Structure 1
Amino acid sequence: MDTRMQLTRLRHTLLPGHGPLVRSSDRLQARLLILVVLLALAAAVGAVLFGIGEYSVESAKSREQTATRYPVTAVLLADGPLPATAGRGETPFGSVPTRATWWTRDGQQRVGEVEAAAGTVAGHEVEIWVDETGAPAERPLTMAAAIIGAPLGAATLWAAAVSLFVLAYRGAVHLLNRRRFTAWQREWAALGTGTTRRDDQRP
């Protein structure tokens, strides 16, 4: 029942009609609501196009990174961080850059810093990703992440745009309601004055 009442109210807002009780502010509110709906639809189209473009960029990045990066096993040359806590928040150490060595796929030995977890010691093996030059690199972007990230970004963009439109619409309705209430008060005051005047003229 509540949903039916909301739909009925929405229909009357969108289609106020042309009766004597329909105010100019009601027609203005209807036009504003229609404008919000049209802008939301336009934003949806824009978000879809943005998602398609984002997917193209992210999928190309995933293919490029997957083709040029590969995992290797690095051997720590120094101990990792102690499994202790640090700072006022007593936050455990996660991982810190630690000196290590590894071999590239073309047989070259490299030495550099890699992320080592707390409690690891020298000689411990960790898997890292390196680029085509053999330097440490981040794990390549997967195609699954590109597929998920593109529509998520598009949905976030559309939701932000719609929220802005709705906020502006509600602000306009608030101003219209204040204007209607002021007009109603004037009409009520005029009606009250007229009634009093007729009462004073009674025989």
Structure 2
Amino acid sequence: MTAVSRLVRRAFPGHNPLATFGDRIEGGVLALGVVVALLAVPVAGAVGSEIYATHVSRVGAEQKSRIQVDAVLAEAAPSMDGAVGSEALIETTEAVATWHLPGGLARKGVVRAPYGAEAGTTLRIWVDLSGEPTEPPMTNQGAAFNAIFSALLLWGLIAGAMALLYGLVRFACMRIRLRWWQLEWELTAPDWTGR
């Protein structure tokens, strides 16, 4: 018997004379969970598509509003020895640097630099139109990754919720079953054991 046929038998106990009311409830919840998980696929796809469309317009805006420039460290970056706790997990630290905008205007500010970088080290940084350091612009690949990740996460949450619901119903039905069996045994045991 394959896993699929076992799943179908569990979801649809049919006219099995040994199937209880609890088995039918479990089967109904299992069938509902599978249907909801399957219906969530196109919903997650639509959400992912919408996120991609939103991010693509952001990609265009960020690509136009951010440029890369060379920044020269005005002072040495702190060494790794000064890093504590979670700071040591990050490969860069803050350091003061100077850079020139395309129009020739000089700017000075705090940038991310490798630990221990010496004064005079040249780094490539991203700046916005006002010349302030900023994050790199989003790319089309980044937009696609975010959309796919969001769609898979949404589907996983829905499928996980259905699996949790089925698990809770199955647990509750099993507890009820065990209680009924215990009560039936308490009624039957004296006839069998003579006590």
Whether 2:138 is the aligned partner of 1:155: answer no
Distance in 1 (CA, whole Å) between partners of 2:90 and 2:144 is: 33
Structure exhibiting the larger radius of gyration computed from Cα positions: 1
Distance in 2 (CA, whole Å) between partners of 1:104 and 1:186 is: 83
Distance in 1 (CA, whole Å) between partners of 2:37 and 2:84 is: 47
Aligned length: 194
1:17 to 5, 14, 19: 14
2:99 to 102, 108, 129: 102
Q: What amino acid maps onto 2:132 in structure 1?
A: A
Distance in 1 (CA, whole Å) between partners of 2:122 and 2:27 is: 67
Does the CA contact (< 8 Å) of 1:47 and 1:154 recur in 2?
yes
2:98 counterpart SS class: strand
Distance in 2 (CA, whole Å) between partners of 1:116 and 1:19 is: 70
What is the aligned-residue RMSD (CA, Å)? 2.5
C-alpha spacing 1:92/1:13, structure 2 compared with 1 (3 Å): closer
Q: What amino acid maps onto 1:72 in structure 2?
A: V
The residue number in structure 2 matching 1:140 is 137
The residue number in structure 1 matching 2:27 is 30
Task: Give how far 1:120 is off.
Answer: 2.1
Alignment deviations for residues 44-88 of structure 1 (CA, whole Å, 9 cap, x no partner) = 232112111111122221111111111000122222213535336
1:114 counterpart SS class: strand
Task: Give how far 1:151 is off.
Answer: 0.7
Distance in 1 (CA, whole Å) between partners of 2:91 and 2:47 is: 36
The residue number in structure 2 matching 1:58 is 55
1:91 counterpart SS class: helix
Segments of 5+ residues of structure 2 without an aligned counterpart are none
Does the CA contact (< 8 Å) of 1:79 and 1:122 recur in 2?
yes
Structure 1 length normalisation: TM-score? 0.82
1:136 counterpart SS class: coil
Segments of 5+ residues of structure 1 without an aligned counterpart are 198-203
C-alpha spacing 1:105/1:23, structure 2 compared with 1 (3 Å): same
Does the CA contact (< 8 Å) of 1:93 and 1:118 recur in 2?
no
Structure 2 length normalisation: TM-score? 0.85
Q: What amino acid maps onto 2:153 in structure 1?
A: T
Bigger shift: 181-190 or 10-19?
Answer: 181-190
Report % sequence identity. Answer: 31
Task: Give how far 1:143 is off.
Answer: 1.0
